[in-house]
Amino acid sequence: MDNTWQHPHRQFAYFQLRSLHDWLWAGLVISAAAYVFGQYHALMDGYEVAILLATAPLLIWLGWSWPALKGFNLTVAIFSLLAISLYGGDLGRADSAFLLKYLFASQSAIMWMSALYVMATLTYFGLLLSGREFVGKVASCLTWSATAMGLTGLIVRWRESYLMGADIGHIPVSNLYEVFILFSIITALLYLHYEQHYQTRGLGAFVLLVISAAVGFLLWYTFDRHADGIQPLVPALNSYWMKIHVPANFVGYGAFSLAAMIGLVYVLKSQARTADPNGLLQTRLPDLALLDDLMYKAIALGFAFFTLATILGALWAAEAWGGYWSWDPKETWALIVWLNYAAWLHMRLSKGWSGKPMAWWAVVGFFVTLFAFLGVNMFLSGLHSYGEL
């Protein structure tokens, strides 16, 4: 009798524990989703409506689970809506409206993102050297600010593509320029979540190095290849699958990159433990047990999303090219990445492997993933040739 009563009680306890701010957040998200549907439902197909309906409860849950995300999302929403309102229906206002030209036009926001991520990287290294809490808070604020500007840039770029023409408009995850921005944002958000959850900023200098490297590529790609221009989609990409396959893929890439940097920190700290037990790395970096646990969680998260992305990619391929799998170089290397991390998790869960060997494996896995992400586009060609450099 008691168990029967307690079971539904536990089911509703989660909702009963929500604060007024949580319910205000839920109402705001639902209102925003209703507004988007009311304004744009005539332009949306059934799949896009389904994505919108799934996004609203996801945003509510994320805001409830990670309160800092509420303020972040509200900031991005305000910046994006301000930029969209400043544009009106005239793309040419990007060069005349002050706030667009210097802050919120997509290219301006992305340049701010790039500068702030580099500043955050340097500040995290300053924290590593000084150990001062204030320096760490500044580094975190810079990372949050960079991520907000990057996401604002992507959202405004989405609107800009439609201002260029209804036949050109598309979600901005269609080429290397756009997905490098997405990669930076996702990797930063994953890191910031772990930073807040575990109350440690010791990993920031190393994780932000990966993001700064992505920013360096992005800047080269922008100024040398002029890749920041918005182009119409190639026919194969003109699909609702792109809206879910690409973000899922890059949650995987971001998590794998985070795991690699954690693995690098693990190796450095384990070596410092014997070579210099009272040195900087030994005293300022997180404990080895925490690093090992974080590395496992990052790889498990990345593997789950990468598996989902691979399944979605196969369904997309069947629709676009008539077959689920064609051994295209991108598909083949995606399978290699999947097998690599499947083996890592198998050895961790079934054999109990941990420590330095698994850390080195995570680091090596990063280079395998990097080749699948970028190297295939540079050196190989195939059905995914739209991503070539």
Say whether 291 sits in a helix, a strand or coil: helix
176 against 42, higher pLDDT:
176
Question: What is the residue range of 41's domain?
Answer: 17-65
Band the pLDDT of 150: cuts 50, 70, 90.
very high
Asked whether residue 250 is domain-assigned, the answer is yes
Q: What is the pLDDT of residue 10?
A: 61
Mean pLDDT of the region 334-359:
95
Expressed in angstroms, the distance from the first to the final Cα of the chain is 66
Give me the residue label for tokens 């994505």: 51
Backbone angles phi, psi at 173, to 5 degrees: -140, 40
- Of 17-21, 72-76, 176-180, the least confident: 17-21
DSSP state of 100: I
DSSP state of 43: G
CB atoms within 10 A of CB 22: 16
The answer to whether the beta carbons of residues 179 and 221 sit under 8 Å apart is: no
Measured CA to CA, the distance from residue 250 to residue 252 in angstroms comes to: 5
Band the pLDDT of 86: cuts 50, 70, 90.
very high
Q: Positive or negative CA dihedral for 215, 216, 219, 224?
A: negative
CB atoms within 10 A of CB 235: 9
The answer to whether the beta carbons of residues 166 and 238 sit under 8 Å apart is: no
Measured CA to CA, the distance from residue 64 to residue 253 in angstroms comes to: 25
Say whether 107 sits in a helix, a strand or coil: helix
- The last residue of a domain, from among 47, 65, 83: 65
- The last residue of a domain, from among 7, 35, 65: 65
**Contact residues for 314 (Cβ-Cβ < 8 A; gap 6+):** 324, 325
What's the structural domain count of the chain? 2
Mean pLDDT of the region 336-345:
97
Measured CA to CA, the distance from residue 106 to residue 112 in angstroms comes to: 10
The answer to whether the beta carbons of residues 347 and 358 sit under 8 Å apart is: yes
Asked whether residue 226 is domain-assigned, the answer is no
**Contact residues for 254 (Cβ-Cβ < 8 A; gap 6+):** 183, 186, 187, 189, 190, 302
Asked whether residue 248 is domain-assigned, the answer is yes
Share of the chain above pLDDT 70, in %: 94
CA angle centred on 221, ends 335 and 238, rounded to 5°:
55
Asked whether residue 10 is domain-assigned, the answer is no
Count CA within 13 A, CB hemisphere, residue 191. Answer: 35
Q: Is 241's pLDDT higher than 60?
A: yes
Asked whether residue 55 is domain-assigned, the answer is yes
- The last residue of a domain, from among 28, 49, 65: 65
Q: What is the pLDDT of residue 275?
A: 72
Asked whether residue 164 is domain-assigned, the answer is no
Asked whether residue 258 is domain-assigned, the answer is yes
Measured CA to CA, the distance from residue 7 to residue 20 in angstroms comes to: 25
Strands (E), 188-285: none
Q: What is the pLDDT of residue 11?
A: 57
Mean pLDDT of the region 28-47:
87
Q: What is the pLDDT of residues 312-324, one digit of tens each?
A: 999 888 887 777 8
Measured CA to CA, the distance from residue 212 to residue 220 in angstroms comes to: 12
Mean pLDDT of the region 147-166:
95
Asked whether residue 362 is domain-assigned, the answer is yes
Burial 340-378 (b: 16+ CB within 10 A, else e): bbeebeeebeeeeebeeebbebbbebbebbbbbbbebbe
Nearest Cα neighbor of 71 from 28, 106, 41 is 28
- Alpha-carbon dihedral 190, 195, 196, 199, rounded to 10 degrees: 160
Mean pLDDT of the region 32-42:
88
The answer to whether the beta carbons of residues 83 and 130 sit under 8 Å apart is: no
368 against 283, higher pLDDT:
368
DSSP state of 142: H
